[in-house]
Structure 1
Amino acid sequence: MTATAVRKVVDRGTTLQPKTPAALPAPPVFDNFTVGTIRRFIHAKFSAKRVFSVGNLTQELKTAGIIPDVTSLTSVWRLLHDMGFRYKTSQRKVYVRKESLDFVCRRIAALRALWHHQEEGRQVVYVDETWFTTRMNHSREWVDTTQDKSSNMYSRQVPPGEGEHLMVVAAGTANGFIESSFLCYTAKITSGDYHGEMTGELFIRWLTSQLLPSLTEPSVLVRDNAPYHSQLTENSRCPTTATKKGDLITWLEQHRLPIPPGATRPELLLVCQQNRPTPQYKVDNIIREWGHEVVRLPPAHPELNAIEQVWGCMKRHICSSLQRFTRVDLQARLAEARLCATQEVWAAAVRRSRDFEVGYWTSDNIHDAVGPIIIDLASDDEDIEDLSLDSDDE
């Protein structure tokens, strides 16, 4: 190549301007209607148990006319992320705890009994016990993450420790607390299960001196199966594995049951358990002596006891208002919380419990001569918001 040709090539390279890259097309903008349509489209795939990828989803959305034909896979991928969808390990193994047959039958029996008592015109009274502590606070509160956790500027400071506990037992109806039934006392322990603070004798004394004298009309008392509610009468007690062989024989003779000749202790115990008498509870008998009835809820069903939701409202108030975290402060806040549990709160709690009753009537496929009658306590009022269940059930 000659010197002239080399110079021309060099000159051409220095005079050429760099090419401007072509502008990328703006990503498409989807309105709320389109986003909602795409979400329902994907949920329909979930219901149909269909697996999809971004590619075939994009093609199907184009075919259905939901998105324009020029929409790219990248645009659909970004949209899915903006909508909250993620490509991750799905929950393929979901185990649902199956209720035992005994629990289901006890729930059905309780619902039927409650409905029949309401049909008879009895007032429904919800009974329960709970606790309040001087260290109550919300599980989540605003904090200043720029400060050290040990600093007073990090968050509202709650003193360490369990604090003092106040025990409360009360009863109420759709009209509110039965005032003379409200009993509050200081617990002896500051940790552990609060149920140990209530005994059968104390509960019966409260029942006969405060609650039952205040009921002016035939009522049905709804409550759980706490140990102090469930003391058996002497006639309905059945021998246990700790019963001696001589006592087993005596029990069989008292109940006029045949004693197998030469039977060993385990064989005698088996005969006793096979002839176990129907449970009779001291508390239930006392309530019936006063002209009222009892409905025992199955374990782990706090949603059927409306007072559990009222406890939740009161505890939220105390958690938000405690400032000095002393017994005096807690007692003052508890008095305020009682005033917060108005008739409207109670009516909303009862309505919600009855909604659960209707749900169980449907899910358990309960049939009776007449379906359950649900009374609208306040059809013109909205339900109280944020009613939550307390976790005091047995």
Structure 2
Amino acid sequence: MSKVNRSGTREVIFKVFQRCMAEFQAGQILWDLDDVYGRTASMTGISESTVRRIVDEGFKNNGKFETPGKHRRGRPKKEMDNFDICALRQKIQFFYTVQKEVPTLRKLQVIAKTDLDFDCSLEVLRKILKAIGFTYKKCQNNRKALIEQTHIAAKREEYLAIIKKNRDLPEELKKDIIYLDESYIHSSYKVTKCWQSLNIEGVTKDISKGKRYIIVHAGSEKGSVPNCLLIFTGNNKLEDYHSEMNAHNFTKWIEEKLIPNLHEPSIVVMDNAPYHSVITNKAPTSSSRVDEIKLWLLENNIDFDPTLRKPNLLSLVRKNKPLPSYHIDNLLGEYGHTVIITVI
């Protein structure tokens, strides 16, 4: 392989030739033109043929020279067809199901080269995997089933037991099952998604959805409870509607709408929204002040040493904590109704 003369070297050789040519044309030396090339070769230490090639390049490019870049032999360009992509998917699946190991890029690169005759870099392989839908993310674990808490399962058992007991009663003794809930609706509905492209933006979503109406109602398999519907306008648009359908409004609806229109003892089913389950005998917690804890102990006739500190007082609370008593349950219970909470 011949040595490459860089641009700076070829420029010097061309200038030496120009100097020798100027002497020849001035008659300072009695040589012919071939001797000018020979003298330049002798002075620069390169072959006469190289001098001739450089001189031709100099005259052609007005004395400007550029160094040719290196010619590196790269991988032959080849694209994966549908058959190769399908085979690559199967190889990845084989790693997981049979070999029980992670198919890294380097392992897949070897497989692609040996089995698919596809020689590519790691970066090219990574782009191919992303293009066919693979994502490099956190591994899954063995906890695939949703583990339900015991108190939720117990609530469901309680609900099902009451419903089954009521169904097994004679027809004349069965209680109506009343379901109640709250929801909301805006006065004007706006779509949130539409077909768009780079050139077509679609419709513009209006920030304002109009007035929000909060709805409270109850019903059974016989239909809605008469005169029980409550609709009022919400004023707070920045928060969830539960901030306006609070314990005070819900209790007022129970007293003024639901109870007067339930003429026979019924089973009332509702979810576990906070204002549905307001506790009347709430015990102190770690966030309670010491004087509040002592007052609760006195009201519940629990003896304690006044010199005890907060941790010991809370220990007494936990030992003597009664079953929770709910305001709505008690309110409906006074009229012979049974309340069931569905835990969600």
TM-score range, shorter chain: 0.5 to 0.7
Q: Report which of the two structures shows the higher radius of gyration computed on alpha carbons.
A: 2
1:168 to partner: Cα distance = 1.5
The one of 42, 46, 52 aligned to 2:96: 46
Which string of whole-angstrom CA distances, capped at 9 and with x for unpartnered residues, describes residues 295-325 of structure 1?
3344xx2xxxxxxxxxxxxxxxxxxxxxxxx
1:163 and 1:95 map into 2 onto residues whose CA distance is: 47
Is 1:254 aligned to residue 299 of structure 2?
yes
The one-letter amino acid paired with 1:193 is: D
Is 1:197 aligned to residue 248 of structure 2?
no
Gaps of 5+ in 2: 1-79, 120-124, 168-175
2:110 and 2:181 map into 1 onto residues whose CA distance is: 57
- Confirm or deny: 8 A CA contact 1:237 1:279 kept in the other structure: yes
The one-letter amino acid paired with 1:251 is: W
1:161 to partner: Cα distance = 3.8
CA RMSD of aligned residues (A): 4.7
Report the TM-score when normalising by structure 1: 0.48
- Confirm or deny: 8 A CA contact 2:179 2:270 kept in the other structure: yes
1:220 to partner: Cα distance = 4.4
| SS of alignment partner, residue 121 of structure 1 | helix
1:276 to partner: Cα distance = 2.1
Aligned to 2:320: 275
Which string of whole-angstrom CA distances, capped at 9 and with x for unpartnered residues, describes residues 323-376 of structure 1?
xxxxxxxxxxxxxxxxxxxxxxxxxxxxxxxxxxxxxxxxxxxxxxxxxxxxxx
Aligned to 2:253: 206
1:116 to partner: Cα distance = 0.3
Cα distance, 1:171–1:94 mapped onto 2, change above 3 Å: farther
Match runs of 1:279-358 below 5 Å: 279-298=324-343, 301=344
2:156 and 2:196 map into 1 onto residues whose CA distance is: 45
The one-letter amino acid paired with 2:320 is: N
Taking every aligned residue pair, what percent have the same amino acid on both sides?
20
Aligned to 2:180: 127
Which string of whole-angstrom CA distances, capped at 9 and with x for unpartnered residues, describes residues 109-146 of structure 1?
11101110121135654432222234643432224642
2:278 and 2:332 map into 1 onto residues whose CA distance is: 14
- Confirm or deny: 8 A CA contact 1:125 1:219 kept in the other structure: yes
The one of 142, 148, 160 aligned to 2:207: 160
Q: Which has the higher contact order (CA 8 A, sep 6+)?
A: 1
- Confirm or deny: 8 A CA contact 1:135 1:159 kept in the other structure: no
Is 1:142 aligned to residue 199 of structure 2?
no
Count of aligned positions: 249
Gaps of 5+ in 1: 1-26, 63-70, 148-153, 302-394
1:211 and 1:283 map into 2 onto residues whose CA distance is: 12
The one-letter amino acid paired with 1:205 is: K
Cα distance, 1:58–1:295 mapped onto 2, change above 3 Å: farther
- Confirm or deny: 8 A CA contact 2:279 2:324 kept in the other structure: yes
2:197 and 2:189 map into 1 onto residues whose CA distance is: 21
1:197 to partner: Cα distance = 0.7
1:190 to partner: Cα distance = 2.3
- Confirm or deny: 8 A CA contact 2:184 2:213 kept in the other structure: yes
